[in-house]
Each structure stands twice: as structure tokens, then as C-alpha cells.
Amino acid sequence: MFVLANLVTTVAGLLEFVINFYMFVIIVAAFLGWVNPDPYNVIVRTLKAATEPVFFRIRKYLPFVMVNGFDMSPIVALLALQLVNGVIVRSLLQLGLRLAN
């Protein structure tokens, strides 16, 4: 049973790492939205490709996130990721600890 506990704990840790990394990507993309970077830069294009599908869906389902030309979709995405991190990852960690005992 300890193997399953280790597997669940490892999956929770990996999921937490991915969520934290994507939150960092969202923050960097939001800061780049305030300046006018070169749209042909590889880093800018990669960040836009990684975040724009999520931002588009947030803007589609929550049209009020655009406030006076200010895009609030990165904030909504960060809050949603924080919610997932707090509920799902912590639940997986607790499950892994219970399986270990």
C-alpha cells in the first residue's frame, strides 16, 4: 500500500509544480502585456501561445473581465489555479498520507 501512497504523493507534488510554473508564466505574460514587446520574439510568442487559450476562454465565459480596456483574465486564471492548488493538490497529499498509515 505504501507504493500507492508514494505514487499519489508524487503526483500531487508534480501537479503542484506544474501549477506553480504555469502561474509564473501567467504573471510574466501579464507583465509583458503592459509593455509593447516585439511580437516576433520567440519568448513572447511562446508565452502568448501558452496563455492566450486560457485567457480567451475566460474572456468568452466571463465577458466582464475586460474593465475599461484592462484585462482581468490573468487575475481570474491565477485565482482559479490557486483554487485548484488548494483543493485538489492538498486533497491528493492528504490521501497519500492516509494511505501511508
- 38-79 tens-digit pLDDT: 889 999 999 999 999 999 999 999 888 788 888 899 999 999
The residue among 101 and 97 whose pLDDT is bigger is: 97
Tell which residue, 29, 32, 42, 33, has the closest CA to residue 77. Answer: 29
- Percent of the chain, pLDDT > 70? 100
What was the pLDDT predicted at 2? 82
Question: Rounded mean pLDDT of the chain?
Answer: 91
What was the pLDDT predicted at 73? 92
The residue among 24 and 39 whose pLDDT is bigger is: 24
What was the pLDDT predicted at 37? 87
Query: Which residues have a Cβ under 8 Å from the Cβ of 6 and sit 6 or more positions away?
Result: 96, 100
Q: What is the CA radius of gyration of the chain?
A: 17
pTM, two decimals, is 0.88
